[in-house]
Amino acid sequence: MSEQQTYEFRDPHDLAPGDEEEVRLGQRLLGYLIGLGLSILLTATSFFVAGTDLVWQPSIPVALTVLAIAQMGVHLVFFLHITTGPDNTNNVMALAFGLLIVFLVIGGSIWIMSHLNQNMMPMDQIMRMQ
């Protein structure tokens, strides 16, 4: 199947901003400005949530996590142009592999730090060695 035929079957609603075939500079710039505005709004909201007493204190980590996930979504769609379209399979696979590596590094670091105490020599033996 040729590239032209592939585009005929693609859903027009499954395109990231700026991923259209014939995009004028104004439309592309508008997509980036919308992404920038949303990023600034989400960042400012995160600082507001973390620094105010208006939010119930135990819910702050949950709120920050939700805002961080929303921020990642904005970056994926507006700046990296990742959609569910068939031509973005490589991008999605690269993103999934990157996330796997990050989770492995973070999980391994946490596991190592939590088991450091078990692998240490008892303090009385350390003192006798000196």
CA-CA distance, 19 to 88, in Å (whole number)?
A: 10
Q: Which residue has the tokens 């961080």?
A: 68
The answer, yes or no, to whether residue 31 has pLDDT greater than 80, is yes
For residues 29 and 51, is the Cβ–Cβ distance under 8 A?
no
Q: What is the pLDDT of residues 66-89, one digit of tens each?
A: 999 999 999 988 998 887 777 778
Domain ranges of the chain: 1-83, 85-130
Q: What is the pLDDT of residues 87-115, one digit of tens each?
A: 778 888 888 899 999 999 999 999 998 88
Q: Is 4 exposed, middle or buried (0-12, 13-18, 19+ CB in 10 A)?
A: exposed
